[in-house]
């Protein structure tokens, strides 16, 4: 199957110099504001592998796949607009001679608070050394051990950047770190780790990794990267295409367990057109959902749309209630800058601004290096008591030259904000950071839908349990991405053999079903999960009485004049106040009622024909409201406090740790999105319910 033309190009991208961190800017031509979609025919594009997401998981998969495959990578915005790019701390792996995989697994299981999938955790962490070595081979300029001085280290990093910026080959850039081995890497320590095991590139590890891998992908002749291309829905085997391309029906996989994924419908923000991508396999690497919250470290593209696409295509979701809040986001105005856990790993202390007391000493024997959920809750309690909105993180007792050399980005960024970390404390507060749940996925990236893989924050492999151990996420991206690249050719070969062995006259639904059943039993085995609780998505008959039962805060309530941006902003506020670090049944019920009101309002505006509610923005908001409902419903049904999920009304652990499972979306149980989006005039896709999913009683 041939790929799109200009395979090595980044579409509509200009090089515009160096940004404030020393990396090349990629200034993608931005789309116009009008995003109302029309009924014109959809151009179609074919490719062997479609990767949705251009972060570390997506690029690792693409670069590890055979070069004989045509690969198309979709980026929702500019290439650097992804969480991987902003990762500071590093990548965790058992690299030190005094460390072991067993110790890394043990620390991960402790942080995960009883909900890690032990087999998957062991499989992923066992591949840590190979994953880091692979990154070294790609040319990532990791900080090295002390026998290489800081000047030499800076020269290595500058050589990599300059070779790429000056148009030299990727090989020339890679040669700058030729021979770099994992044994040479400087390791730091972060919360929850029993020893130093985090490899890093200064305090901007994600930027260095992404800049290096992006250059590799751009140089690959079989890879196309398409910025500002937003996937809307996944296509499956049961798609029915009209001759003119303007009608498409996609059944939910739950109604046909033997279908497989064949591409996606995509919106091109550059041309304001909808495109259809057909592929032999799809890799979902779309990132997390942090932007459902008011304060988040994730870029604005991270709204959980990948989770929803997979669910609507027939995948299970797991543990959506476990949202990790990073303890130390900078608490200055609207800043979403994160202060790396590595500062605490190197000796940083947390103080109450009023008393000057190190409060973590009284709460956990690991003090500031306790797992993130413990530290975040402790800071939240301090903030609730002091009324200041922050606590102090202080590293001024550490040598100034050490801080400037090891944390150059943090030092300069905070200096620009008026804080000199060598002399001043840093005001910090918890901020939404990572989704520990997601699309149910095995360690090889297989989901419940054949031909659909998932990796990165969008996926639930069971590695993170109820609370992610620091710096395990970058490792998961690389390991699972490379595992997908090893498995995917086998899947394509099986599909190809079936196509050749099935004569055209015999290609019936039954023969396809037989093949896919055999395929599932032979090479496609989704993750099997024991000890689960199914999240109930109840009927909506008693919504009125629940709307009357709660007095919603006036700052959250929305009247009929609010536009989409207004509802989106208030949704963030609602999620932060009612689905934050501490939750209760009353808060969650209030949130569900409020979201239902917004869903009803959006539907009413759509039926009235308001153009701003017949747009892509309306589609996005509808999806976000529904995802927020799934998250809140999961939290409502988990009547315990565990890891990143804390209930005021259920402060203790349940006797048995259970995985929350949301069964695949059932198209025949809900209304079509057509009702909510009259006037959009687009093909019918995996339907999004226009009705809310409301908890009406504790389960």
Q: Is the pLDDT of residue 39 over 60?
A: no
User: Are residues 659 and 556 located together in one domain of the fold?
Assistant: yes
- Would the pLDDT of 501 be above 50? yes
Tokens representing 637?
Answer: 């049904």
Angular region, 139: left φ>0, alpha ψ -120 to 50, beta rest? left
Distance CA 646, CA 650 (A): 8
Structural domain span for residue 546: 532-676
Residue 481: phi and psi, rounded to 5, are: -60, -45
Mean pLDDT of 276-294: 96
Q: Does residue 147 share a domain with residue 265?
A: yes
Least confident range from 161-175, 212-226, 231-245: namely 161-175
Q: What stretch of H or E contains 128?
A: helix 128-138
Number of domain units in the chain: 3
The per-residue DSSP string of 534-577 comes to EPP----TTHHHHHHH----TTT---TT--HHHHHHHHHHHHHH
In order, the DSSP letters of 188-257 are E--TT-SS--EE-STT-HHHHHHHHHHHHHHH-TTEEEETTEEEEEEEETT-EE-TTS--EE---GGG-T
What are the pLDDT digits (tens) for 378-434?
999 999 999 999 999 999 999 999 999 989 999 999 999 999 999 999 999 999 999
Whole-angstrom distance, CA of residue 637 vs CA of residue 534 = 9
- What is the pLDDT, as a whole number, of residue 601? 83
Q: DSSP letters of 605-656?
A: HHHHT-GGGSSHHHHHHHHHHHHHHHHHHHHHH--S-BTTBEESS--S--SS
Q: What are residue 434's DSSP bridge partners?
A: 324
* 446-488 per-position pLDDT tens digit: 999 999 999 999 999 999 999 999 999 999 999 999 999 999 9
Flag whether 476 is in a domain: yes
Residue 149, SS3? Answer: coil
The pLDDT of 307-329, averaged and rounded, is 95
Instruction: Give residue-wise pLDDT tens across range 521-553.
Output: 588 999 999 999 999 874 443 333 443 443 333
- The least confident of 67-81, 544-558, 575-589 is 544-558
Number of other residues whose CB lies within 10 A of the CB of residue 672: 14
What is the predicted pLDDT for the residue at 552? 37
pLDDT at 260: 87
141 touches 176 (CB < 8 A): yes
Residue 433, classified by CB atoms within 10 Å of its CB into exposed (0-12), middle (13-18) or buried (19+), is: buried
Per-residue pLDDT tens digits for 256-277: 456 789 999 999 999 999 999 9
Mean pLDDT to the nearest integer, 42-51: 93
Quote the pLDDT of residue 12. Answer: 37
Per-residue pLDDT for 28 more than 70? no
Average pLDDT, integer, range 491-519: 64
CB 44 within 8 A of CB 197: no
Please check whether residues 202 and 345 belong to one and the same domain. Answer: no
What CATH number corresponds to the domain at position 429? 3.90.700.10
Q: Which 3 state secondary structure label does DSSP give 353?
A: coil
* pLDDT for 691 beyond 90: no
Note whether 245 and 355 are same-domain residues: no
Are 36 and 611 contacting, i.e. CB atoms less than 8 angstroms apart? yes
Per-residue confidence (pLDDT) for residue 331, from 0 to 100? 93
Residues 425, 479, single domain; the answer is no
pTM to 2 decimal places? 0.83
The per-residue pLDDT for range 92-139, each reduced to its tens digit, is 999 999 999 999 999 999 999 999 999 999 999 999 999 999 999 999
Mean pLDDT of 11-39: 36
Q: Identify which has the larger pLDDT, 546 or 697.
A: 546
Cα(487)–Cα(132) distance, rounded to whole angstroms? 20
Q: Are residues 142 and 228 in the same domain?
A: yes
**Confidence class for position 564, pLDDT limits 50, 70, 90:** confident
356: left (phi over 0), alpha (psi -120 to 50) or beta: left
pLDDT for 541 = 37
Q: Is residue 361 part of a domain?
A: yes
Residue 13 lies in a domain: no
Q: Would you say residue 522 lies in a domain?
A: no
- pLDDT bin (cut points 50, 70, 90) of residue 178 is low
List the CATH number of the domain containing 561: 1.20.58.100
635 has a pLDDT exceeding 90: yes
| 244 pLDDT higher than 60 | no
Burial of 389 (0-12, 13-18, 19+ CB in 10 A): exposed
Q: Which residues are catalytic?
A: 372
Look over the chain and give the mean of its residue pLDDT values, rounded to a whole number.
80
Which CATH number do you get for residue 63?
Answer: 3.50.50.60
- Residue 398 located in a structural domain: yes
Q: Is 619 within a domain? A: yes
Q: Which residues of 167-203 are buried (b: 16+ CB within 10 A; e: fewer)?
A: eeebebbbebbeebebebbbbbbbbbbeebbbbbbbb
Q: Is 400 helix (H, G, I), strand (E, B) or coil?
A: helix
Same domain, 158 and 125: yes
**Do residues 72 and 199 share a domain?**
yes
Same domain, 89 and 115: yes
Same-domain status, 311 and 374: no
675 vs 356, more confident: 356
Q: Is residue 572 part of a domain?
A: yes
- Tokens 């997908």 correspond to 484
Residues 582 and 621 reside in one and the same domain? yes
> Which DSSP symbol is given to 99?
-
Could you tell me if 453 and 425 lie in one domain?
no
According to the model, what pLDDT value does residue 85 have? Answer: 86
Higher pLDDT, 353 or 601: 353
Residue 97 maps to a domain: yes
């Amino acid at each position: 199957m041939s790929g799109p033309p200009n395979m090595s190009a980044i579409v509509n991208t200009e090089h515009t110099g160096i940004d404030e961190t020393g990396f090349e800017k990629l200034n993608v031509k931005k789309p116009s504001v009008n995003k109302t979609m029309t009924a014109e025919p959809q151009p179609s594009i074919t490719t062997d592998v479609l990767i949705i997401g251009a972060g570390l998981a997506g690029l690792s998969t693409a670069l590890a796949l055979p070069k004989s495959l045509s690969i198309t990578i979709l980026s929702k915005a500019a290439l650097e607009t992804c969480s991987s790019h902003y990762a500071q701390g590093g990548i965790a792996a058992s690299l030190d001679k005094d460390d072991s995989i067993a110790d890394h697994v043990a620390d991960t299981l402790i942080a995960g608070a009883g909900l890690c999938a032990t087999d998957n955790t062991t499989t992923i962490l066992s591949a840590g050394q190979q994953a880091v070595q692979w990154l070294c081979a790609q040319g990532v300029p990791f900080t090295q051990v002390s026998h290489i001085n800081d000047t030499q280290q800076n020269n290595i990093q500058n050589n990599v950047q300059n070779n790429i910026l000056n148009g030299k080959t990727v090989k020339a850039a890679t040669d700058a770190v030729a021979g770099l081995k994992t044994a040479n890497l400087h390791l730091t320590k972060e919360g929850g780790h029993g020893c130093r095991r985090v490899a890093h590139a200064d305090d901007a590890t994600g930027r260095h990794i992404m800049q290096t891998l992006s250059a590799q992908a751009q140089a690959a002749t079989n890879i196309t990267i398409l910025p500002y291309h937003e996937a809307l829905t996944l296509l499956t085997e049961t798609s029915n295409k009209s001759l003119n391309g303007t009608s498409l029906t996609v059944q939910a996989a739950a109604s046909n367990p033997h279908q497989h994924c064949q591409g996606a419908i995509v919106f091109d923000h550059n041309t304001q057109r909808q495109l259809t991508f057909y592929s032999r396999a799809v890799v979902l690497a779309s990132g997390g959902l942090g932007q459902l919250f008011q304060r988040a470290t994730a870029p604005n593209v991270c709204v959980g749309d990948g989770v929803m696409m997979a669910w609507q295509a027939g995948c299970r979701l797991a543990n959506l209630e476990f949202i990790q809040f990073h303890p130390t986001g900078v608490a200055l105005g609207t800043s979403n800058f994160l202060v790396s856990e590595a500062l605490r790993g190197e000796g940083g202390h947390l103080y109450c601004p009023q008393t000057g007391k190190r409060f973590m000493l009284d709460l956990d024997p690991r003090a500031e290096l306790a797992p993130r959920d413990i530290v975040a809750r402790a800071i939240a309690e301090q903030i609730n008591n002091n009324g200041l909105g922050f606590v102090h993180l202080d590293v001024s007792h550490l040598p100034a030259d050490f801080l400037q050399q090891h944390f150059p980005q943090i030092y300069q960024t905070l200096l620009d904000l008026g804080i000199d970390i060598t002399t001043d404390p840093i005001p910090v507060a918890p901020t939404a950071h990572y989704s520990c749940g997601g699309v149910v996925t095995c360690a090889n990236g297989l989901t419940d839908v054949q031909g659909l893989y998932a990796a990165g924050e969008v996926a639930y492999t069971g590695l993170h349990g109820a609370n992610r151990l620091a710096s395990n996420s970058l490792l998961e991206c690389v390991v699972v991405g490379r595992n997908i690249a090893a498995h995917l050719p086998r899947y394509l070969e099986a599909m190809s053999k079936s196509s050749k062995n099935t004569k055209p006259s015999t290609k019936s639904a039954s023969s396809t079903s037989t093949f896919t059943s055999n395929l599932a039993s032979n090479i496609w085995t989704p993750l099997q999960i024991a000890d689960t609780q199914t999240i109930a998505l109840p009927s909506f008959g008693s919504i009125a009485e629940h709307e009357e039962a709660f007095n919603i805060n006036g700052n959250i309530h929305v009247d009929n004049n609010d536009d989409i941006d207004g509802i989106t902003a208030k949704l963030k506020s609602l999620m932060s106040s009612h689905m934050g670090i501490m939750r209760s049944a009353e808060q969650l019920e209030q949130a569900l009622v409020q979201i239902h009101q917004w869903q009803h309002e959006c539907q009413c505006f759509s039926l009235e024909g308001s153009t701003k509610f017949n747009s892509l923005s309306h589609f996005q908001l509808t999806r976000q409201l529904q995802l927020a409902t799934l998250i809140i419903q999961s939290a409502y049904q988990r009547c315990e406090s565990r890891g990143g999920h804390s209930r005021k009304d259920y402060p203790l652990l349940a006797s048995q740790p259970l995985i929350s499972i949301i069964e695949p979306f059932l198209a025949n149980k809900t209304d079509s999105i057509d009702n909510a989006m009259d006037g959009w005039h687009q093909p019918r896709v995996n339907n999004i319910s226009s009705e809310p999913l409301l908890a009406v009683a504790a389960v």
